[in-house]
Structure 1
Amino acid sequence: MKAKLSLFAKTSIIPAILLSVVGCNDAVTATTQNDTSESITESKNYGNLVEGIDFIKLSKPIEGVSYNDITELFWYGCGHCLNVEMHLVDTIAEQSKLNGWSFNKVHYPSERNTWAFDFNIYAALEQLDVGKEVGRDYMLSVQKQGLDRFNEEEMTDFFSKYYLDYELVKEKMNSAERDEIWAHAMKFKVPEVEGTPTFIVGGRYIVKISPKMVGSIKQLISN
């Protein structure tokens, strides 16, 4: 199937910064997911996509993930993830509905202090079924408005805007359901994932963030 690579040219929603997005990892250093081609021993063509350039094929498929699942690994504190959130995620979600894909956001699981706290916030919001709206605002508040994650009063005020009791949120952050969400997220912590944001298609491919990303996803799903 020939990919329709003109979608983003028509919508013009991707700013130039996305074309050079690098990423965040839990060692708190930048990492480029475009430098993995040196580790590819054999380049294979998928239509007009090239392995190691447009996408990376995982060495082992992620168990329990359907071929038409799209998963974004992100971190609330990642500036690159915020760019993707504000300029790309809604389009991916819209195209997922149109094409019958399943699009999910999964917070990167890490035991580092801030990353771990943010994962627990994510898990709590998922349990309360407010992950999309409140999660986006939490990301913006942390990165752009100086919200102090570890200040009880500030966090209480933040969640009160959504009529959420921070004590309830904290309860969800330490629940058995949180552990189940962690276990699910750990499935995506594979060696080929070098940082955030990362988009995994069908549990088999990491697709590179670019203007032709939706077209790449279509080709990889149909492969």
Structure 2
Amino acid sequence: MRNLIFSAALATASLFTALVAAPLQAADIQAGKQYVELNSPVPVAQPGKIEVVELFWYGCPHCFQFEPTLNPWIAKLPEDVNFVRIPALFGGLWNVHGQLFIALESMKVEQKVHDAIFHAIHKEGKKLSTPDEMAEFLATQGIDKDAFLKAYNSFAVKGQMEKAKKLAMAYQITGVPVMVVNGKYRFDIGSAGGPEQALEVADFLIAKERAAQ
């Protein structure tokens, strides 16, 4: 498991090594270059909508750096696109933070505290490595401690953890942040050429899927 986590960390660290590139042209976006097509498509959460998944980890500095670029893009997505965040679960603290995310999502408060959690970890030096530490921090954000702890330890959340693990395996991810469009196309910031370029690839693949409907 230690080797797996180490490999995932190396893959994650490589995603931001690409130099800042010029905006991509649609004609330049190709399978095998900016993105890969999965051999076996993965079912989407909401059939009838084009799904965009981001796999992430709260402890990932590159995921944190991607947020200011990603969030305004999410806010402007059209009605036929469903954006989904899924925590990557490579063991250890990855799983702890993934359970935090899923618990908050089950409480329907994750969007309220998503940015605050990233900021606490990467700017305030908080590890948020135990349920009690999480609950204390979340209380400062207006989240009831007992309600959070109940959700965190619930069977429903543990079931969603297993689902997230299976999805990550189906997407064949090795690091984060990674994006998947409509369960068919996987890409990351490194392969796309940068954060902005990754979203251009996402837009291209969304249009590709929309045209195919």
User: So what's the TM-score if we normalise by structure 2?
Assistant: 0.75
| 2:109 aligned with 1:130 | yes
Aligned to 2:19: none
Shift of 1:122: 0.6
Matched, 1:147 2:126: yes
Decide which of 126, 151, 161 is 1:172's aligned counterpart: 151
Query: What is the CA–CA distance in structure 2 between the aligned matches of 1:130 and 1:50, rounded to whole Å?
Result: 38
Partner of 1:83: 65
Corresponding residue SS for 2:76 = helix
Residue 60 (1) aligns with residue 40 (2): yes
The ranges of structure 1 where at least 4 consecutive aligned residues each deviate by more than 6 angstroms after the TM superposition are: none
- Taking the aligned partners of 1:102 and 1:52, their CA distance within structure 2 comes to 25
Give unpaired runs (5+ residues) of structure 1: 1-24, 35-45
Between stretches 61-70 and 149-158, larger displacement belongs to 149-158
Q: CA deviation at 1:192?
A: 3.0
CA RMSD of aligned residues (A): 2.6
Aligned to 1:5: none
Pairing 1:183-202 to 2, within 5 Å after superposition: 183-189=162-168, 190=170, 192-202=172-182
- Residue identity matched to 1:134: V
The 3-state SS of whatever aligns with 1:199 is strand
Note closer, same or farther for the CA distance 1:176–1:153 as it changes in structure 2 (3 Å cut).
closer
Q: Percent identity?
A: 20
Work out whether residues 35 and 187 of structure 2, in 8 Å CA contact, stay in contact via their aligned partners in 1.
Answer: yes
**Amino acid of the residue matched to residue 203 of structure 2?**
G
The corresponding residue for 1:51 is: 31
Report how far residue 184 of structure 1 moved.
2.8
Equivalent pair of 1:56/1:206 in contact (CA under 8 Å): yes
**Structure number with higher helix proportion:** 2
- Give secondary structure in 2 for the equivalent of 1:121: helix
Say if 2:204 is the partner of 1:216: yes
SS at match of 2:5: coil
Distance 2:42 2:28 in 1: 25
User: For residues 129 and 181 of structure 1, do their structure 2 counterparts lie closer, same or farther at Cα, with a shift above 3 Å needed?
Assistant: same
SS in 1 for 2:204: helix
Structure-1 separation of matches of 2:29 and 2:148 = 43
Normalized against structure 1, the TM-score is what?
0.72
Alpha-carbon distance in structure 1 between the residues aligned to 2:50 and 2:171: 21
1:169 CA drift (Å): 1.6
When residues 220 and 83 of structure 1 are mapped into structure 2, their CA distance, relative to the original with a 3 A threshold, is farther
CA distance in 2, matches of 1:61, 1:158: 39
Question: Is the 2:38–2:185 Cα contact (8 Å) retained in structure 1?
Answer: yes
> Mind listing any 5+ residue stretches in structure 2 that lack a counterpart?
17-25
Q: Say if 2:50 and 2:206, in contact at 8 Å, map to a contact too.
A: no
| Structure 2 Cα separation of the partners of residues 176 and 156 of structure 1 | 18
Give, in whole Å, the separation in 1 of the partners of 2:132 and 2:158: 26
| In 1: Cα distance, 2:172 partner to 2:206 partner | 21
Question: Which residue number in structure 2 is paired with residue 41 of structure 1?
Answer: none
- Evaluate the alpha carbon distance shift between residue 173 and residue 152 of structure 1 in structure 2; reply closer, same or farther with a 3 A threshold: closer
Asked if structure 1 preserves the Cα contact closer than 8 Å seen for 2:93 and 2:129, the reply is no
Contact 2:171–2:186 (CA<8 Å) still a contact in 1?
no
Partner of 1:40: none
How far, CA to CA, are the matches of 2:152 and 2:131 in structure 1?
A: 14
Alignment-mate amino acid for residue 29 of structure 1: A
